[in-house]
A and B are shown apart, each in its own frame.
Chain A
Amino acid sequence: MDRFERQYILPGFGPASQQKLRKTSVLIIGAGGLGCPALLYLSAAGIGKIGIIDGDVVSLSNLNRQVLFGKEDLGKNKAETAAKIIQKKYNDIEVEAFPYFLTKENILGIIQNYDLIIDGSDNFHTRYLVNDACLIAGKPLVFGAIYQHEGQVAIFNAKGPHSINYRDLYPIPPSAREVPNCNETGVLGVLPGIIGTWMAAECIKYLTGYGNSLEDKMLFYDLQNHNSYQVQLAKNQDSNQSRPKNHSELQEMDYQDFCGLSAQTDWEAALSLLKNANHSVLVDVRELGEQPELDDIDHLQIALADLPNSRSQLASFQNILLFCQSGSRSLKAVDMLKSQFPDKNIQSVEGGILRYLFD
């Protein structure tokens, strides 16, 4: 007997399916609310090799839903911590950690070593990047996402270019400001628990042919009333419009910009965001004491050089607006902060304080 005996004896599954799982590798993108339950069940089910990519560190507000982690993990990288926990539980599978964020530069090199990709990320620009890269590399993609008390699950690119991909549903990306994520609107931990577990189930079903998978379908679920709704998806001729078709076209994409997260904004838009959007902050990135001072709007003062150490100060904000004297240091600051917080909306205010005061 081994730890998979209950799966062998399940009618319609059997040792042959178990053998398929054993020989398969799966990459989980994001060890967050969706990634944690998916990882727990896929490793328990005996997937032969599991990769986990996440550049984020565990924070206190993650613990209601990212159930692999506890208080002793605060501040530690999620991918490495998750990999350690899983490897300790099961020494008969291979676990690989990628302790950094997925980018257009690294994605193709990573996914080529895996048979199936699971997207448990938490922002649109990563979701489009993952979708496009899976199409280029010919990898099936198990997709899951949540909003407040609802979730959606699908399998994209199951059989190559004739299959449905995310762009068939949404050829034009919504802007990040249009649809807030869990950091902004809140979520009960059990919802990503359910959706992430469904993602693991779809992964197992797709790999073994057990039951009917969500290939080219999307399943919606509502935690409040247990309503579910399954849609047959359809190819959309608009989906290829701005989709990169190969490695070099992918490198030319600016996914943040594509998803409406341009690096710059003007004072009017910045002030409106500060007034209307929750979790927004304005930051002066000039050195302390630089003149003129901004004295009529609440803001933080973090000099450019101190930004790499300002993680705890900024972690709770979703919209981070940066200004300096005339807008060039704050643009540099955007790049620095985006590498730390790829899921946040971070913008430099054009023209800096000089434009605010004198235009």
Chain B
Amino acid sequence: MKLLAFGKIAEIIGKQEIEIENFPNTDILVGYLQQQYPALKDLKFSIAIDKKQVNGNISIATGAEVALLPPFSGG
């Protein structure tokens, strides 16, 4: 699956786009990412699967595109 990251999340992961193995749902994916990149634990973000925002723990279809969307405050 493809993972897209924005803002500070992309800084932490080091890339805006990475290919990773498939994860069955968003909770497992986030848990894995927090383990790989502990700094993510301190961040709030929303999740989109195939360009649609999802809330709660949602299953991820094989080959889906998952985006991590942090809030920005600057103006």
Please give the distance in Å from B38's CB to the nearest CB on chain A: 14
Whether B71 contacts A145 by the Cβ 8 Å rule is yes
Whether A181 contacts B55 by the Cβ 8 Å rule is no
* Complex interface: chain A residues within 8 A of B6 (CB): 150, 220, 222, 229
Please give the distance in Å from A255's CB to the nearest CB on chain B: 13
Whether A124 contacts B69 by the Cβ 8 Å rule is no
Report if A124-B53 is in contact (Cβ < 8 Å); known contacts: A150-B7, A179-B7.
Answer: no
A237 to B67, CA, bound (A): 20
Whether B43 contacts A178 by the Cβ 8 Å rule is yes
* Complex interface: chain B residues within 8 A of A144 (CB): 75
Residues 205-223 (chain A) with a chain B CB within 8 angstroms: 218, 220, 222
The 7 closest A-B pairs by CB, nearest first: A145-B72, A147-B72, A122-B75, A146-B74, A174-B44, A181-B74, A234-B53
* Complex interface: chain A residues within 8 A of B22 (CB): none
Whether B72 contacts A222 by the Cβ 8 Å rule is no
Query: Which A-chain residue is minimally distant from B55 (CB atoms)?
Result: A236
Query: Which B-chain residue is minimally distant from A216 (CB atoms)?
Result: B53
Query: Is B19 located at the chain interface by the 8 A CB criterion?
Result: no
A178, A231, A238: the one contacting B53 at CB < 8 Å is A231
Report if A220-B53 is in contact (Cβ < 8 Å); known contacts: A33-B75, A120-B75, A122-B74.
Answer: no
Please give the distance in Å from B45's CB to the nearest CB on chain A: 8
Whether B44 contacts A173 by the Cβ 8 Å rule is yes
Interface membership of chain B positions 52-64, coded 1 if the CB is closer than 8 angstroms to chain A and 0 otherwise: 1111000000000
A-B contact pairs, 10 of them (CB 8 A): A33-B74, A119-B75, A144-B75, A147-B73, A168-B53, A178-B43, A178-B44, A179-B71, A231-B51, A231-B67
Query: Is A192 located at the chain interface by the 8 A CB criterion?
Result: yes
Please give the distance in Å from A160's CB to the nearest CB on chain B: 19
A231 to B4, CA, bound (A): 12
Chain B: interface residue count, which band? 20 to 34
* Complex interface: chain B residues within 8 A of A174 (CB): 43-44, 70-71, 73
* Complex interface: chain A residues within 8 A of B71 (CB): 124, 145, 169-170, 174, 179
Q: Which of A30, A34, A170, A192 lies at the interface centre, i.e. has the most chain B CB atoms within 10 A of its CB?
A: A170
Query: Is A351 located at the chain interface by the 8 A CB criterion?
Result: no
Query: Is B42 located at the chain interface by the 8 A CB criterion?
Result: yes
Whether A169 contacts B69 by the Cβ 8 Å rule is yes
Query: Is A152 located at the chain interface by the 8 A CB criterion?
Result: yes
Report if A169-B72 is in contact (Cβ < 8 Å); known contacts: A150-B7, A179-B8.
Answer: no
A146 to B72, CA, bound (A): 6
7 additional A-B pairs beyond A123-B73, A232-B51, beta carbons within 8 Å, are A150-B6, A151-B72, A174-B73, A181-B73, A182-B75, A218-B69, A220-B69
A119 to B54, CA, bound (A): 25
Report if A179-B73 is in contact (Cβ < 8 Å); known contacts: A231-B48, A231-B67.
Answer: yes
Query: Is B25 located at the chain interface by the 8 A CB criterion?
Result: no
* Complex interface: chain A residues within 8 A of B8 (CB): 147, 178-179
* Complex interface: chain B residues within 8 A of A336 (CB): none
Query: Is B35 located at the chain interface by the 8 A CB criterion?
Result: no
B4, B7, B48, B75: the one contacting A192 at CB < 8 Å is B75
Report if A145-B73 is in contact (Cβ < 8 Å); known contacts: A150-B7, A170-B46, A178-B44.
Answer: yes
Whether A147 contacts B75 by the Cβ 8 Å rule is no
Query: Is A32 located at the chain interface by the 8 A CB criterion?
Result: yes
Residues 158-217 (chain A) with a chain B CB within 8 angstroms: 168-170, 172-174, 176, 178-179, 181-182, 185, 187, 192
A174 to B73, CA, bound (A): 10
Residues 14-54 (chain B) with a chain A CB within 8 angstroms: 16, 42-44, 46, 48, 51-54
Whether B69 contacts A231 by the Cβ 8 Å rule is yes
* Complex interface: chain A residues within 8 A of B69 (CB): 169, 218, 220, 231
Query: Is A327 located at the chain interface by the 8 A CB criterion?
Result: no
Please give the distance in Å from B10's CB to the nearest CB on chain A: 8
Query: Which A-chain residue is minimally distant from B75 (CB atoms)?
Result: A122
* Complex interface: chain A residues within 8 A of B48 (CB): 231
Whether A122 contacts B16 by the Cβ 8 Å rule is no
